[in-house]
């Protein structure tokens, strides 16, 4: 009975929010540090956060628009710009980059900070929030690149971008839930990181990033819609490029599912972290 009561207490959304808010200063400092570490020692520093997605967009533009002459058979089929497919592709990759960055880091997250487990009293659960925050910084830069590219290539700017945080809400919650689970599991099963790398590659191709979901045979479309990234990628692209609003019902369902996954992942992490010191 005490165990059930403790689980309910830990999984209370208000408790979780208050607990994370209590450590907001530490989270902010560590997030900025985590974001800066990836460019530490390089000559251009954080300028790479702009250059890398810019180079990626240019490469996609050349390969898909010039070499393969690909076209996106959807809302922009009347556009004639040679860079249209690359922009559509990159817009779909933005939320996936966030998801894959966090998920791939999660299994080794606690292993990278053994001193936080053994020598100090530290709220280990905030480490997942830190890597999510760092990935969000990168995502913001990517969104900036795609907005500039859209104005230059497609000659449009969609005011629906102000709704983008609503799409990122289930993305962040979903990713955090999985990350808490994987961060804990990675302490006990060291091979999980290799498996997750494979899983993220699978998600890359079963999400409508390289193709619109309408191009998939109808009998498989409902299966693909079970993938939460389908809703997120599709609506992120629609808001950024075409000014299309999303289904409130579909968004609400996936947001509720994401909240549940985040809570379960958080409970799992809190419940299992007591054994981290014994394993490390």
Residue 75: predicted pLDDT: 46
> Is there a domain that residue 59 lies in?
yes
Is 279 within a domain? no
Residue 6 reports pLDDT greater than 90: no
The stretch 216-229 carries a mean pLDDT of 90
CA separation, residue 175 to residues 99, 201, 255, 272 (Å): 6, 15, 12, 19
List Cβ neighbours of 190 (8 Å cut-off, separation of 6 or more): 111
Determine what percent of the chain falls in helix, strand and coil, rounding each to the nearest 5.
Answer: 80, 0, 20
More confident residue, 75 or 167: 167
In a domain, 46, yes or no: yes
- Give residue 220's pLDDT: 87
In the predicted structure, residue 185 carries a pLDDT above the cut 60: yes
Q: What average pLDDT score do residues 166-173 get?
A: 97
Q: What gap in Å lies between CA 221 and CA 86, rounded to an integer? A: 23
Which pLDDT band, with edges at 50, 70 and 90, does 127 fall under?
A: very high
Note the pLDDT of residue 18.
93
Least Cα distance to 128 among 183, 168, 167 occurs for 183
pLDDT > 70? residue 51? yes
User: What pLDDT shows up at residue 81?
Assistant: 52
Asked which of 61-65, 180-184, 243-247, 257-261 is least confident by mean pLDDT, the reply is 61-65
What mean pLDDT do residues 185-191 have? 91
DSSP assignment of 166-184: HHHHHHHHHHHHHHHHHHH
Inside any domain, residue 280: no
How many distinct structural domains can be found in the chain? 1
* In-domain check, residue 260: yes
Per-residue pLDDT reduced to its tens digit, 247-257: 999 999 999 99
Q: What is the pLDDT of residue 76?
A: 45
How much is the average pLDDT of 192-219? 89
Does residue 89 carry a pLDDT above 60?
yes
Mean pLDDT of the region 10-17 = 89
What DSSP assignment string belongs to 80-114?
A: --TTHHHHHHHHHHHHHHHHHHHHHHGGGTGGG-H
Q: Give the pTM.
A: 0.90
pLDDT band at 155, cuts 50/70/90? confident
Q: Classify residue 255: in a domain, yes or no.
A: yes
d(CA 145, CA 269): 35
Residue 236 has pLDDT above 90, yes or no: yes
| pLDDT (0 to 100) of residue 228 | 93
Kindly tell me if the per-residue pLDDT of 1 is higher than 70. no
Averaged pLDDT, 150-174: 92
Is the per-residue pLDDT at 29 higher than 50?
A: yes
Please state, in angstroms and as integers, the Cα–Cα distance from residue 49 to each residue in 44, 139, 142, following that order.
10, 9, 8
Q: What is the mean pLDDT of the chain?
A: 87
* Structural domain that includes position 264: 2-274
């Amino acid at each position: 009975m005490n165990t059930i009561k403790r689980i309910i207490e830990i999984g209370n959304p208000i408790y979780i929010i208050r607990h994370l808010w209590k450590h907001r200063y530490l989270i902010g400092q560590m997030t900025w540090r985590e974001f800066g570490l990836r460019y530490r020692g390089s000559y251009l520093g954080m300028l790479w956060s702009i250059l890398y997605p810019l180079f990626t967009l240019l490469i996609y533009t050349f390969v898909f628009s010039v070499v393969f002459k690909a076209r996106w058979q959807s809302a922009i089929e009347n556009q004639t710009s040679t860079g249209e497919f690359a922009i559509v592709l990159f817009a779909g990759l933005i939320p996936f980059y966030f998801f894959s960055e966090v998920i791939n880091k999660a299994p080794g997250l606690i292993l990278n900070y053994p001193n936080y487990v053994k020598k100090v009293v530290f709220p280990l659960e905030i480490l997942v929030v830190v890597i999510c925050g760092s990935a969000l910084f990168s995502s913001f830069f990517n969104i900036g690149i795609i907005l500039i590219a859209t104005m230059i290539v497609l000659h449009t700017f969609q005011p629906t971008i102000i709704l983008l945080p609503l799409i990122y809400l289930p993305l962040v919650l979903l990713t955090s839930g999985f990350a808490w689970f994987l961060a804990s599991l990675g302490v006990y099963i060291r091979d999980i990181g290799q498996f997750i790398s494979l899983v993220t590659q699978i998600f890359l191709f079963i999400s409508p990033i390289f193709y619109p979901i309408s191009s998939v045979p109808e009998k498989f479309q409902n299966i693909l819609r079970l993938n939460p990234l389908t809703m997120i990628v599709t609506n992120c692209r629609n808001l950024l490029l075409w000014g299309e609003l999303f289904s409130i019902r579909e968004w609400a369902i996936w947001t509720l599912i994401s909240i549940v996954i985040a809570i379960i992942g958080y409970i799992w992490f809190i419940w299992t972290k007591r054994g981290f010191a014994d394993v490390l």
